[in-house]
Amino acid sequence: MIAANSARRALKILGDRWTLLILRDAFLGTRQFSAWQGRLGVTPTVLTKRLKTLVDTGIFKRARFNEVPPRVEYQLTDKGLDIYPVALMILRWEQTWFPVPAGTRMVLRHTRCGREMQPRFTCGHCSGEVTARDVRYRDGPGAGLESATANRLRRATITAQDQRGTHGFLEHAVDILGDRWSWEAIGAAFLGHKRFDAFQAQTGMASNILSDRLRRLIDDGILTRRAYQDRPPRYEYLLTEKGRDFYAATVMLVCWGDRWLAGTKGPPVLLTHKACGSALDPQVTCSGCGEVLDPHDVAYDMNDGTTARPLTLNAAT
């Protein structure tokens, strides 16, 4: 048994490479099977399976239009649209830590204020920017134990074919986060766990899987290893600056899990913003005007010279 955790519940659905890429393209306006297939180079079997999961979990709804020939669309539900702030925080992290040459960078524009902008991670109460060091945790009404799920060893390996699907947008982040165990280990580090046994107790991962993910996260520059004992040698695992900066994406993921997957009990963990002393109501806001960013108001100037317009919603039939 391990501690109940909204991030884990969310990652059971979202901690998958193809699912993240499908969602990324949905936020850029993709609605149809053939369009995802063309953009991602994903096999029909894999795409069918992922779309079914996204419909079954209430993130997409399937809409059928009575045209000749009939057309089927997968549309984001409210639950699906609510993943948007998580995606923006992943994007911000990717743009900070995997810089690209000037002129090839994708630029975000907030259509409500008209400015080029960066999404910021702020407190809804005091409007201050929030970092990993600014937040305290305590047990919430949904705290308790739940059974650990079966472990899966494989971390998706990236093939040349897969690379085609990333067109440079969230490429690095999806490689790291398309594996729920890596993301769970990062989440455990944010809760203050440093030692192998503590990571294991928090996540329920088998030793070999945890060792593998810790090693990969060190290779990716997200964790660093420090000896705390010489004989026998023992190490603790600490977040690097790059790792700590992933905090915003993790908190938004937890909040999504709290809102949509916590059931009637409520959130397992409560967050407090130390700076203002209020319960943290995390928001993703425009660096230009300070407004909360809505997927319908963000345009993307892509690195190939095109612009992806803000998301428009079609009425489902």
Q: Is residue 168 a contact residue for Zn ion (CB under 5 A)? A: no
Backbone angles phi, psi at 214, to 5 degrees: -60, -40
Q: Could you tell me the two tokens for 182?
A: 């890596």
42 and 159 Cβ atoms separated by less than 8 Å: no
Nearest approach in angstroms of CB 232 to Zn ion is: 44
Which residue, among 44, 15, 14, 18, has the nearest Cα to 165 in the 3D structure?
A: 18
Q: Is residue 123 a contact residue for Zn ion (CB under 5 A)? A: yes
Q: Is residue 289 a contact residue for Zn ion (CB under 5 A)? A: yes
Nearest approach in angstroms of CB 310 to Zn ion is: 12
Q: Is residue 109 a contact residue for Zn ion (CB under 5 A)? A: no
Give the interface segment with Zn ion, choosing from 116-124, 156-164, 205-213, 231-239 (CB under 5 A): 116-124
C-beta closer to Zn ion: residue 104 or 111: 111
Q: What is the DSSP letter of 215?
A: H
Nearest approach in angstroms of CB 106 to Zn ion is: 17
C-beta closer to Zn ion: residue 3 or 286: 286
Nearest approach in angstroms of CB 280 to Zn ion is: 7
20 and 177 Cβ atoms separated by less than 8 Å: yes
Q: What is the DSSP letter of 89?
A: H
Q: Is residue 125 a contact residue for Zn ion (CB under 5 A)? A: yes
6 and 261 Cβ atoms separated by less than 8 Å: yes
C-beta closer to Zn ion: residue 22 or 280: 280
Selected from 46, 72, 100, 113, the binder of Zn ion by CB under 5 A is 113
Nearest approach in angstroms of CB 273 to Zn ion is: 4
Residues 63 and 305: their CA atoms lie apart, in Å, by 32
C-beta closer to Zn ion: residue 176 or 286: 286
C-beta closer to Zn ion: residue 120 or 273: 273
Selected from 2, 35, 55, 126, the binder of Zn ion by CB under 5 A is 126
C-beta closer to Zn ion: residue 1 or 289: 289
C-beta closer to Zn ion: residue 114 or 221: 114
Q: What is the DSSP letter of 144?
A: S
Q: What is the DSSP letter of 244?
A: H
Strand intervals (E) in the chain: 2-3, 60-65, 71-76, 107-110, 116-117, 119-123, 135-139, 145-146, 223-229, 234-239, 269-273, 282-286, 298-301, 307-308
Number of residues that bind Zn ion (CB under 5 A): 10
Distances (CA, A) of 55 to 61, 155, 180: 6, 24, 20
Nearest approach in angstroms of CB 272 to Zn ion is: 9
Q: Is residue 110 a contact residue for Zn ion (CB under 5 A)? A: yes
Nearest approach in angstroms of CB 251 to Zn ion is: 13
Q: What is the DSSP letter of 134?
A: G
Nearest approach in angstroms of CB 279 to Zn ion is: 9
In the shown chain, the binding pattern of residues 269 to 288 toward Zn ion, with x for contact by CB under 5 A and - for none, equals ----x--x---------x-x
Dihedral sign, CA of 217, 195, 246, 4?
positive
Give the number of other CB atoms < 10 A from CB of residue 237: 23
Nearest approach in angstroms of CB 133 to Zn ion is: 13
Q: Is residue 302 a contact residue for Zn ion (CB under 5 A)? A: no
Binding site for Zn ion (CB under 5 A): 110, 113, 123, 125-126, 273, 276, 286, 288-289
